[in-house]
A and B are shown apart, each in its own frame.
Chain A
């Protein structure tokens, strides 16, 4: 079966523009996570969706960041008015396991975002 897919794989944008990143989770996975990996830094948790529950947005770094997920399907991460500090690889993971159980998360290949 297909794994987690993300699109685009690379995105170059100009400072101030909005970008939208997409994640297609594994079918049937109720949990979906977004992470950010900046150059030379560890992964950072951004947001967690679990089924139809209210998402855990505690990791979003500013109100320029938002994410949506309809049911157990596709998720989009939107960054408004991008800044150079937003340049990073954005990773999505889906899971059928309990919250933050990394052992049950399947990661996508990531979207590399470069803000010029």
Chain B
């Protein structure tokens, strides 16, 4: 079992739908990151969380430390949101562990 599990692996939705991507982890962490990878490989950081909730535009990220779970939400999804979304954790023993990513496709 991977130490960082994401679900779903693939998600196709219509423009405007509310999107949720989940990340569960099994190690103690100091921080959790959500990243966005566009076709062609470019990766950008969306959020870093150690507790609670963060919001940036149409993106919301939450984390529940006790349940070792984080979610990334996209409101009013748009085709330009189509990308791979990656959850990564920084473990307490200072390792970086990535999930396999969720491939999101938003249809116009």
Q: Are A110 and B88 neighbours in the complex by a CB distance under 8 Å?
A: no
Please classify the interface of chain A as helix (H, G, I), strand (E, B), loop, or mixed, using the class held by over half of its residues: mixed
B94 adjacent to chain A (CB < 8 Å)? yes
| Bound-complex Cα distance A105 to B47 (A) | 12
Q: Assess the B98–A44 pair: CB atoms within 8 A.
A: yes
Q: A102-B88, A103-B48, A107-B42 are in contact. Are A42 and B99 (CB under 8 A)?
A: yes
Provide the B15-52 mask, 1 if CB < 8 A to any CB of A, else 0: 00000000000000001010100001111110110000
Q: Is A53 an interface residue (CB 8 A)?
A: no
Q: Does A43 contact B (CB under 8 A)?
A: yes
Expressed in whole angstroms, the Cα–Cα distance for A100 and B95 within the complex equals 8
Instruction: Output the least CB separation between A27 and chain B (Å).
Output: 19
CB–CB A103/B40 < 8 A: no
Interface residues on B, range: 20 to 34
A35's nearest neighbour on chain B, judged by CB, is: B98
Query: How many A residues, CB 8 Å from partner?
Result: 20
Are A102 and B101 touching (Cβ within 8 A)?
no
Given contacts A40-B100, A42-B98, A107-B43, contact A100 B86 (CB under 8 A): no
Given contacts A100-B94, A102-B45, A103-B33, contact A42 B86 (CB under 8 A): yes
A109 contacts B41, C-beta separation under 8 Å: yes
| B96→A100 contact, CB < 8 A | yes
The answer, among A44, A102, A110, for a CB contact under 8 Å with B41, is A110
A108 to B96, CA, bound (A): 18
Enumerate chain A interface residues (CB-CB to B < 8 A): 40-45, 89, 91, 93, 99-105, 107-110
Q: Which residues of B are at the interface with A, using a C-beta cutoff of 8 A?
A: 2, 4, 31, 33, 35, 40-45, 47-48, 86, 88, 90, 94-101
Closest 5 CB pairs of A and B: A42-B98, A110-B41, A107-B43, A43-B98, A102-B33
